[in-house]
Amino acid sequence: MPEPRVPHSNLPPPTSTTGVVGWLRRSLFSSPLNAVLTLLAVYLLYVTLPPLLRWAFLDAAWSGEDREACRSGGACWVFIRVHLDQFLYGFYPDEQRWRVNAAVLLLILGAAPLFVRTVSSKFKVRLGLGLLIAYPLVAFVLLKGGMIGLPVVDTSQWGGLLLTLVIAGVGMTAALPLGVLLALGRRSRMPAIQTLCVTFIEFWRGVPLITVLFMSSVMLPLFLPAGMNFDKLLRALIGVTLFQGAYMAEVVRGGLQAIPKGQFEAAAALGLGYWKTMGLIVLPQALKLVIPGIVNTFIALFKDTSLVLIIGLFDLMNIVHNATTNPAWLGFSTEGYVFAATVYWLFCFSMSRYSQNLEKHLYTGHKR
């Protein structure tokens, strides 16, 4: 009697397709062209990476007080360390810098609950709105002074990262509402309002920010009655806000156009007026759709704050540049720019990552 046929147990996959070898074959050497490209890339990394690491870390000078400490041939991080306070606070008086720290700490403490998942969203909305209204006032009083016994620190003394954050923060909080209003105006059925909004948006989008800042510094004094003068910082803030508000308007308009007509009709059928339709039905959906665009505009705004150097404000970019031209520290511009670039990069990159998270978190199946 023949033995019952026992099938051979499954063979494991060939070793060349699994594990490290398989991965290498699949993703680095899948074809002759890919193999050549991989080798080229490895060579490129071999040529660039070790000298870069040696310059930035191994040979770098970390401690010391002056340029005598930087004779190793590597990066001179002493330059950054010595100037760090200046880079962060600008010309803000030494003994008053606790006020800047307090303002930052206050913002972090106040905004922290917004980033905790377990906090109820109703509380978040209230806290967010409260912060939006109260924080700028508190921060202004803290930074500028002149009240509750704090000595006045003029805005011309603000500088460094502080100034960058002030411009970016004010710009963002002002550009979004402005953009929403402009977008609503552009979608309005009233011809006069629509024309005004379209003209406004297209004008600001058509010119470079630098000419706007130029205009704010040379033409604004002509536009205002004699004797009336604007703070330089305020001028920059207005310029940046109007400029990015126009870009924001186009982003929001994209979201508004994506909302199906049925939503408007349903809201009208429920008897909602214009503002209730927009505020309760349309905008929440539209804004959610365009979160990536909004954050992109925020990132662009953050990077654009560096342009205020054109009108002579000492933001992070300008103050670093200024330090590199200091006769006592000539020749360390690379270190300065690398430091500034790292700071800008950290802010922009975390913003883009946060927006990706937010998108995932708010995802309710609206994408098909």
Q: Which positions lie near other proteins, rule CB under 8 A?
A: 27-28, 30, 34, 37-38, 41-42, 44, 189-193, 196, 202-203, 205-211, 214-215, 218-219, 221-226, 299, 303-307, 309-310, 317, 321, 324, 331, 333-334, 337, 340-341, 344-345, 348-349, 352
Q: How far is the CB of 121 from other proteins (least distance, A)?
A: 30
* DSSP states of 109-170: HHHGGGG-TTS-HHHHHHHHHHHHHHHHHHHHHHHH--STTPPP--GGGB-HHHHHHHHHHH
Place of tokens 């905790």: 116
- When the beta carbons of 241 and 318 are compared against other proteins, the nearer one is 318
Nearest distance in Å: CB 288, other proteins: 20
Q: Which of 81/321 has CB closer to other proteins?
A: 321
Q: CA 95, CA 159: separation in Å to the nearest integer?
A: 15
Min dist. Cβ of residue 169 to other proteins (A): 17
| Nearer Cβ to other proteins (103/213) | 213
Q: Give the single-character DSSP code of 313.
A: -
C-beta contacts of 137-143 below 8 A and 24+ residues apart: 138/103, 138/106, 139/103, 139/106, 139/107, 142/99, 142/102, 142/103, 142/106, 143/99, 143/100, 143/103
With tokens 């306070």, the residue in question is 85
Please tell me the chain's helix, strand, coil percentages from 3-state DSSP, rounded to the nearest 5: 75, 0, 25
Nearer to other proteins, 150 or 300 (CB): 300
Q: Which is nearer to other proteins, 215 or 234 (by Cβ)? A: 215
> Closest approach of Cβ 191 to other proteins, in Å?
7
In terms of CB distance, is 66 or 202 closer to other proteins? 202
- The C-alpha atoms of residue 265 and residue 267 are separated, in whole angstroms, by 5
Residue 123 vs 203, nearer CB to other proteins: 203
The whole-angstrom separation of Cα 145 and Cα 143 is: 6
Shortest reach from residue 226's CB to other proteins, in Å: 6
Q: How far is the CB of 52 from other proteins (least distance, A)?
A: 13
Token digits of residue 327: 């006769």
**Cα distance between residue 305 and residue 292, in whole Å:** 20
Q: Give bridge partners of residue 90 from the DSSP assignment.
A: 158
Minimum distance from residue 213 beta carbon to other proteins (Å) = 10
Give helix then strand counts, H and E, for the chain: 16, 0
Cα 264 to Cα 260, 278, 355, distances in angstroms: 8, 9, 28
Task: State which residue, 281 or 323, has the beta carbon closest to other proteins.
Answer: 323
Least Å distance between CB 239 and other proteins? 13
